[in-house]
Structure 1
């Protein structure tokens, strides 16, 4: 791979800010947040806006059958089969999300490609700004990048439904995409030269450390499943507290102990119960059944599995204390993904040459980069999130940090595409 020094020019911070503020209007909510699920009207409009920007910049726009967008700057003189350098992220959001999550990486990648074109940089490899479809998983976690790396069969695609119950194949066809062709978008290792993604941290580590740039070392492993506590349904007024088998008390006991369970495994481990179903669900009935969603994360696979075991053991202990039965069903395990050391070095060097304080850290959230790392050397650049807030209308990143991150992205892409 190429080494720095990088370009003598920078991104247009004013244009990037204008783009970010404009794109936040697609799916804007009354709270100041963004609701832009893939394949909705808001998504259709932001795609049309991207197409206009590509036409203005002389970039070649391509959209594959699962909805991934590729904005390409050619490398004149390079062999036609030369693998491109990719930079990008996503433009879909969670319900009531923020204006930087995904959008920063996607629009900064577009800005980088535009600047390379405007400066007429002599590229050895094509560069593509990539916007992945449905990263937030309305239909499938990291849908677009998963289709590129693992692929989906026709039956798998037909079974996928969105948060609103819409079938994915119907949503694709409504967008004008060929749902059958969506089974044929898979790429092979070597089809991409390298990938780099700029993203907000979505946590408070960088801000707390006074760092401007995060050099991401790995993307955390994520496990999920369901815990089911079973007790006995009884009258809320006539059953003494000591005689109850209250499923919700047992579930609450576990939830209260999750922080100490996570700490017992590692400093990076986290565990969350974000969904609770209570039956029969009446104010005057002792709960007989509680189902809890479980999300657990750690950047090391061995510790991830140990965390799962520790939470399940704690659930059994809580059940015993409250005379309950408990069962656990694993839903999925997504392995941690270490990011390429050479890519980390490129990012760190780009930050150092610009006098930007940097910190090496793992990502506690999932990203398309964890999929693309199976295709090509992959790196990630983080910039601070104010107060660590994300997936919320309160999500914010200072504009000077946006500019700094975009310039580190530019330097990294420039090195990869010219070296």
Structure 2
């Protein structure tokens, strides 16, 4: 007897995972932690009931393969890791929905093409480097960029990965998993307010924005807060504060969806009785147009130099991460549109501001597309993250519909 698609099972399993790996503050599935291990063990238990081959690659990505009549592989992917105090659906939805689709296909017998489900390692970028596992597979990862990265507790990325049997220098060998890859699909929550504003449950994602992410380091002079006149201070925090406010105006001026964020400012010596001598500020800029993304960076840097001169400071910019805007495969976008229309009667196109592992798959040349499902209040990376259950059901059905369409497309020679 064939196993019918059961979106309610997906919702139940997502709740099961939430109970297993969350606290009252939200999801705690941070990559390379005991809770993340627990989540992966839970996923392995689910996969153990299916006729799939399960393995870890050299970058720590978890693969489940259902062999097909053809070695050409359709990959469904997402990530089970979360940010600290994250949401129950971010990443996990795509993986658990993919598990349900894999079950349904396996029940039919040998599929015409190979079907693979992948849980990408450290999508969230615990060490500041987003899409770690998928970038290793795609070939864009440069090991030398990882050697000095550390998390908020001072643990270096290479030391952490060694404890999980991952050698930074060998991570690129994960690219061998993509040799027969013919298409890549990913379902994700929107993480923003657009679909709710439009009154729509689902959208086809046409691509992802480019990102420029920097560490901006301000150097001033520590001085006693009680005895140093205001006009004689070299306050590093003043430069960072001015740039933080200027980023809003810069994003507004460049427009067309531009966003700029200063998400972290750390002062030294960091006490109430001293002017800040050094400040490390994290700046993230995004745009779907590469020219406008470059304009954001140029204007932000020029503004920082102006503020450094005004406050008698030195400022330097160190790039942490960069990725160009990505456009997904036009034929797969059409197939995704059709799947969404079949599922809910209407379709909507949008570009993703957040990055996803699909970005790296598209960069590697694999035909790629994504589906979004509405996020309530547009909230994500928070315990308050949520999506209506009826919309989660539609999302699972849309992913299954899209998977069937892409299998047929591949059978017909699509590439």
Q: Same fold (TM over 0.5)?
A: yes
* Post-superposition CA distance 1:151-193 (Å, at most 9, x none): 7688777766555555656655655678886452223876201
Aligned-partner Cα distance in 1 for 2:51–2:43: 12
**8 A contact 2:21–2:38 mirrored in 1:** no
Q: Which residue is 1:74 aligned to? A: 67
Instruction: Write the distance in 2 (CA, Å) between the matches of 1:125 and 1:19.
Output: 27
Distance 1:101 1:253, change over 3 A: same
Contact 1:100 1:395 in 2 (8 A): yes
Q: 1:107 to 1:280 in 2, by over 3 A?
A: same
Counterpart of 1:138 in structure 2 is 126
Q: Greater RCO between the two (CA within 8 Å, min separation 6)?
A: 1
Summarize the Cα distance change of 1:152–1:332 in structure 2 as closer, same or farther, 3 Å threshold.
closer
Aligned residue number for residue 241 of structure 2: 252
Question: Corresponding residue for 1:23?
Answer: 17
Gaps of 5+ in 2: 410-415
**Change in 2 beyond 3 A, CA 1:410/1:289:** same
Q: How does 1:201-350 map to 2 (within 5 A)?
A: 201-350=190-339
**What do residues 126-162 of structure 1 show as CA deviations (whole Å, max 9, x unaligned)?**
1111111111122542121122111768877776655
Please state if 1:47 is matched with 2:47. Answer: no
Q: CA deviation at 1:117?
A: 2.2
C-alpha distance in 2, partners of 1:320/1:243?
14
| Contact 1:189-1:375 within 8 A present in 2 as well | no
On the 8 A contact 2:204/2:340 being kept in 1, the answer is: no
| Structure 1 residues not aligned, in runs of 5+ | 1-7
**Cα-Cα RMSD:** 2.8
Q: Is the 8 A contact 2:78 2:119 kept in 1?
A: yes
Cα distance change on mapping 1:154 and 1:143 into 2, 3 Å: closer
For normalisation by structure 2, the TM-score amounts to 0.88
Contact 2:250 / 2:300 at 8 angstroms: preserved in 1? yes
CA distance in 2, matches of 1:320, 1:377: 48
* CA deviation map 1:91-150 (0-9, x unaligned): 0111111110100000001111111223x1673211111111111122542121122111
What is the deviation of 1:365? 0.8
CA contact (8 A) 1:190 1:376 kept: no
Contact 1:149 1:187 in 2 (8 A): no
Residues paired across the two proteins, number: 406
Poorly superposed stretches of 4+, deviation over 6 Å: 151-160, 176-181
State the alpha-carbon separation in 2 of the partners of residues 322 and 54 from structure 1: 58
Which one of 372, 395, 403 corresponds to residue 405 of structure 1?
395
Matched, 1:128 2:121: no
Match of 1:4 in 2: none
